[in-house]
Amino acid sequence: MSEPAGPPDMNRSILVVDDDESTLQMLGTFLRRHGYRTITATNPIRALELLQTETVHLVITDLMMPHVDGISFTQQIHQLPNHAHVPVIMITAYGNDTLNDQGMRKGVAMTLSKPLELSKLLDLVGFATH
């Protein structure tokens, strides 16, 4: 991938949503160490509540979660007036072209397959937040 978009803006907030708490903690810590403000939620319902009061510049979400999948969650995010254009990076262990195409048609900006390459995630985050 190309060079990152530049140093992070400390005012950029990223909402990370994953039902696996160890993944959630790892991503939150990793992004904070690279200068981003992070907000975390263990499910899409809580994430949507947070989006009512928080300004978010990017959402990183898992595909497979309880209550709703990452693609449907992306659609719900984009229905919120202040978040209609927030980019969403979807993380999945089930990455394939059909899933990627479906996600893109439903508003997912980028898809990243597990196991995560953290340097690639950081590049995507830098691109999406600038």
Q: Which two tokens stand for residue 128?
A: 């999406």
Q: How far apart are the first and last CA of the chain?
A: 16
pLDDT digits (tens, 9 = 90+) for 61-120: 998 888 888 889 999 999 998 899 999 999 987 766 566 666 666 778 888 888 889 999
Tell me what pLDDT residue 4 has: 44
This prediction's pTM: 0.87
| pLDDT range class, residue 2, cuts 50, 70, 90 | very low
pLDDT digits (tens, 9 = 90+) for 16-39: 999 999 999 999 999 999 999 999
* % of the chain beyond a pLDDT of 70: 83
Tell me what pLDDT residue 130 has: 79
Asked whether residue 3 carries a pLDDT value surpassing 90, the answer given is no
Asked whether residue 127 carries a pLDDT value surpassing 60, the answer given is yes
Q: Is-cis flag, bond preceding 115, omega within 30?
A: yes
Q: Which domains does the chain have, with CATH numbers?
A: 13-128 (3.40.50.2300)
Tell me what pLDDT residue 129 has: 85
Task: Give phi and psi for 85, each to the nearest 5.
Answer: -120, 15
Q: Is 111 left (phi over 0), alpha (psi -120 to 50) or beta?
A: beta
